[in-house]
Chain A
Amino acid sequence: MSAVSAGHEHAGRIDGTLNAAALRADTRRQALGFLALLSPGLFLVFAVIIVPVGWLFWLSLFDETGTLSAANYARFFEQASYIKTFMTTFKVAFVVTTACVLLGYPLAYLLSQLPRRAASICLVFVILPFWTSVLVRTYAWLVILQRKGLVNSWLIDHGLISQPLQLANNFTGVVIGMIHIMLPFLVLPLYASMKSIDIDCLRAGMNLGASPAATFRQVFLPLSLPGLASGVVIVFVLCLGFFVTPALMGGGKVIMWAMRMEQAASLYSNWGAGAALGVVLLAVTLSLLGLFRWLLGARAAGVWSSR
């Protein structure tokens, strides 16, 4: 490696001055070529993301009479219910993400340690629910969790409880339904990252006298963190904008941000009311992504330097 680069440097000192202009022109041509190839994609991103989001932002600045105002944002502070909705949204996202990590990490670990054939069979069970509509799965949970549903009738029949538990139409129901839907989003990136961990690193750890637990904690866990982080980010962000499950399982008591958007669109005659909700969600999501990126960057750098 060093010999080759030294050779290049050497050659560069002799020929660089002669070919510099030609090389620069070549680089420029190549850059233009890449830009040309990218332009359809860039145009698409501009047309379907940048323009509508900009428009959304623009709309949020106008009140019902069409004059420029901050009324749509001021409402969030005047009406206590918006703060409540905001807190509920984050509470749900936090609980669901935590539960997904606790359930998903051991599952992904198990999958990554199984022989390839068994792992792919088990993976099918993780992916299978993906192919069923969220609506259908949510209704299925309703059937299982409601007052006269499977869980409650089983528990009562076996004399474990005398009064049915309130599992649906509340916070518990929303969280259970959403964990089921979000779990694959955590397991799949985590599994991929665990699969790519070099088994020799673990062997080396053991070889140097670490116990299996210590090897896991000091070698495997840090190496799996980037995959875990991307899973956590995906799940958390998806939770923030979730609509169907809280709307059906929340019994009208668990109101999340996306549900407020739908309400705002029909309640207020200006789009700004709903648009402002969208802008706030987008801003919060982007800052969270930034935060995760920063944390992950620090983490990755830590792993690198400790190596």
Chain B
Amino acid sequence: MKRKGNVRRAAVVGMVAFSIAGPATAADTITVASWGGTYQEAQTKAFFKPTAEALGITIKEDTTNGLDDVRLQVTGNAVKWDITELGADECARGSKEGLFEKLDYSVIDKSGINPKLVHDDWVGISYTSVVLVYRTDVFGDKGPKTWADFWDVEKFPGRRALSGSQPTETLSVAALAKGIPIDKVYPVDIEGALQSVDKIRNHVDAWWTSGAQAMQLVKDGEVDMASIWNGRAGTLRKEGAPISFSFDQGVLTADCMVIPKGSKNKDIAMKALAKFVSPDLQASLPLYVDNGPANEKAFETGKIPQERIKDINSSPENIGKQVLQDPQFWRDNLVEATEKFNNLIQQ
């Protein structure tokens, strides 16, 4: 708590001192885009302000809708952002399309980041988990614990929701429901996973398309169980909703950061990105939000309190309970899988 206050104060002092020092030249300013909301607020505190202060630059912020925004800027020769966040499968696809600048790993220290998330032109930044949440006012503590339970409509009657906008996550979950062990889910047997979705689809009351919607469905009791992002589930718990979830059989999806091709401040962006993925700043992220750090060395910094570590999805004890989504796999299979999935869930 004390540290947090100091960081904030230092950041404010830094900003004030900086603005007194005079207007920054264009080269000293970079624009970073992320998802907005509480997640980006946490990033501002954990990553952006400390980096701006350490490098003596100004970091402007914007929000993104994802890969199509980057594609629009790069193909339209109107690159506004120097760094942007994306989902890992979007990074893999954008990389294939050549939308990003190469990263310089002599500037960015990649040690501590899962090699699956370290690539020529993109690097992992944080983790979100897809978890199974159920309402304790309906099931007590005897709710569905595994995805096989979720699929068992006789043993666990009730209304259900799954993600409709993230077929990668729902298909991973569907594979787990078939009893496939967590280390065998990838590469996903798409046809098998679709058959699994086919079994449950008539019992799914809503296919959510945003984190906020998933939260609303559970909070209002519209559904009794759902797949949901751990950050949203954590918020529900904090708000006092009668829910239970765990990281068992969760699906870990990484977020990544890239420098869009044609960024005018590539070099500074590279230095800033190096800061963002450093263990020190990575360790600050879970102090503000439930998204775990991508750099496992963050857990060795001592910045994260012990009792907090057990709630973080990418901590050494939790990471082994979950499936790690493979971005490269979805790069090559997303389009086909999504079209088939969409066909299946339509009424």
Interface residues of A (CB under 8 A from B): 79-81, 84-85, 88, 142, 146-149, 166, 168-171, 247-248, 251-255, 263, 265-269
A–B complex contacts, Cβ < 8 Å, 12 sampled? A79-B343, A142-B216, A149-B220, A166-B205, A170-B347, A247-B209, A252-B165, A253-B347, A254-B346, A254-B347, A266-B65, A267-B334
B68: chain A residues within 8 A (beta carbon): 265-266
Leading 9 A-B pairs by shortest Cβ distance: A252-B207, A252-B164, A81-B343, A251-B206, A253-B347, A169-B206, A266-B68, A148-B221, A81-B342
Do the beta carbons of A88 and B347 come within 8 Å of each other? yes
Do the beta carbons of A266 and B67 come within 8 Å of each other? yes
Q: With A and B bound together, what is the CA distance between A142 and B342 in angstroms?
A: 23
Interface string of B176-216 (1 = CB under 8 A from A): 00000000000000000000000000000111110001001
Do the beta carbons of A253 and B66 come within 8 Å of each other? no
| Smallest Cβ-Cβ distance to B344: which chain A residue | A81
Q: With A and B bound together, what is the CA distance between A255 and B164 in angstroms?
A: 11
Q: With A and B bound together, what is the CA distance between A247 and B67 in angstroms?
A: 20
Q: Assuming the A-B contacts A148-B220, A263-B342, are A251 and B207 also in contact, with contact meaning beta carbons closer than 8 angstroms in the complex?
A: yes
- Dominant SS at the A interface? loop
Most buried by B among A85, A169, A263: A169
Q: Assuming the A-B contacts A146-B222, A147-B159, are A268 and B335 also in contact, with contact meaning beta carbons closer than 8 angstroms in the complex?
A: yes
Asked whether any CB of chain A lies closer than 8 Å to the CB of B97, the reply is yes
Do the beta carbons of B220 and A85 come within 8 Å of each other? no
Q: With A and B bound together, what is the CA distance between A85 and B339 in angstroms?
A: 12
Instruction: Tell me which of A81, A266, A269 contacts B339 (CB under 8 A).
Output: A81
Q: With A and B bound together, what is the CA distance between A169 and B160 in angstroms?
A: 12
B29: chain A residues within 8 A (beta carbon): none
- List CB contacts (< 8 Å) of B326-346 with chain A: 334-335, 338-339, 342-343, 345-346
Asked whether any CB of chain A lies closer than 8 Å to the CB of B110, the reply is no
Interface residues on B, range: 20 to 34
B159: chain A residues within 8 A (beta carbon): 147
B335: chain A residues within 8 A (beta carbon): 267-268
Asked whether any CB of chain A lies closer than 8 Å to the CB of B80, the reply is no
Q: With A and B bound together, what is the CA distance between A148 and B222 in angstroms?
A: 7
Extra contacts, 16 of them, besides A147-B220, A251-B205, A267-B335 (Cβ < 8 A), are A81-B346, A84-B343, A85-B346, A148-B220, A248-B213, A251-B206, A252-B206, A252-B207, A252-B209, A253-B207, A253-B345, A253-B346, A253-B347, A254-B346, A266-B65, A267-B338
Q: Assuming the A-B contacts A147-B222, A266-B67, are A171 and B347 also in contact, with contact meaning beta carbons closer than 8 angstroms in the complex?
A: yes
B66: chain A residues within 8 A (beta carbon): 266
A266: chain B residues within 8 A (beta carbon): 65-68
A166: chain B residues within 8 A (beta carbon): 205
Q: With A and B bound together, what is the CA distance between A248 and B217 in angstroms?
A: 11
| Smallest Cβ-Cβ distance to A251: which chain B residue | B206
B27 CB to closest chain A CB, in angstroms? 32
Q: With A and B bound together, what is the CA distance between A24 and B218 in angstroms?
A: 75
A142: chain B residues within 8 A (beta carbon): 216
Do the beta carbons of A146 and B343 come within 8 Å of each other? no
Interface string of B25-69 (1 = CB under 8 A from A): 000000000000000000000000000000000000000011110
Do the beta carbons of A147 and B221 come within 8 Å of each other? yes
B97: chain A residues within 8 A (beta carbon): 269
Do the beta carbons of A269 and B71 come within 8 Å of each other? yes
A168: chain B residues within 8 A (beta carbon): 222
B197 CB to closest chain A CB, in angstroms? 12
Asked whether any CB of chain A lies closer than 8 Å to the CB of B93, the reply is yes
Q: With A and B bound together, what is the CA distance between A38 and B331 in angstroms?
A: 51
Do the beta carbons of A252 and B222 come within 8 Å of each other? no
Most buried by B among A81, A85, A252, A253: A252
Q: With A and B bound together, what is the CA distance between A142 and B216 in angstroms?
A: 10
Q: Assuming the A-B contacts A146-B222, A148-B221, A266-B66, are A84 and B206 also in contact, with contact meaning beta carbons closer than 8 angstroms in the complex?
A: no
B209: chain A residues within 8 A (beta carbon): 247, 252
| Smallest Cβ-Cβ distance to A265: which chain B residue | B68
Do the beta carbons of B206 and A255 come within 8 Å of each other? no
Interface string of B222-260 (1 = CB under 8 A from A): 100000000000000000000000000000000000000
B158 CB to closest chain A CB, in angstroms? 11
A168 CB to closest chain B CB, in angstroms? 7
Q: With A and B bound together, what is the CA distance between A147 and B161 in angstroms?
A: 13
Do the beta carbons of B205 and A169 come within 8 Å of each other? yes
A76 CB to closest chain B CB, in angstroms? 11
Q: With A and B bound together, what is the CA distance between A149 and B222 in angstroms?
A: 9
Do the beta carbons of B339 and A79 come within 8 Å of each other? yes
A252: chain B residues within 8 A (beta carbon): 164-165, 206-209, 345
Q: With A and B bound together, what is the CA distance between A248 and B208 in angstroms?
A: 9
B69 CB to closest chain A CB, in angstroms? 9
B229 CB to closest chain A CB, in angstroms? 16
B73 CB to closest chain A CB, in angstroms? 13
| Smallest Cβ-Cβ distance to A83: which chain B residue | B343
Instruction: Tell me which of B208, B221, B346 contacts A255 (CB under 8 A).
Output: B346
Q: With A and B bound together, what is the CA distance between A166 and B222 in angstroms?
A: 10
Q: With A and B bound together, what is the CA distance between A267 and B65 in angstroms?
A: 13
Q: With A and B bound together, what is the CA distance between A266 and B166 in angstroms?
A: 12
Q: Assuming the A-B contacts A169-B206, A267-B334, are A88 and B222 also in contact, with contact meaning beta carbons closer than 8 angstroms in the complex?
A: no
| Smallest Cβ-Cβ distance to A169: which chain B residue | B206
| Smallest Cβ-Cβ distance to B67: which chain A residue | A266
| Smallest Cβ-Cβ distance to A260: which chain B residue | B342
A148: chain B residues within 8 A (beta carbon): 220-222
Q: With A and B bound together, what is the CA distance between A87 and B216 in angstroms?
A: 29
Instruction: Tell me which of B93, B221, B343 contacts A80 (CB under 8 A).
Output: B343
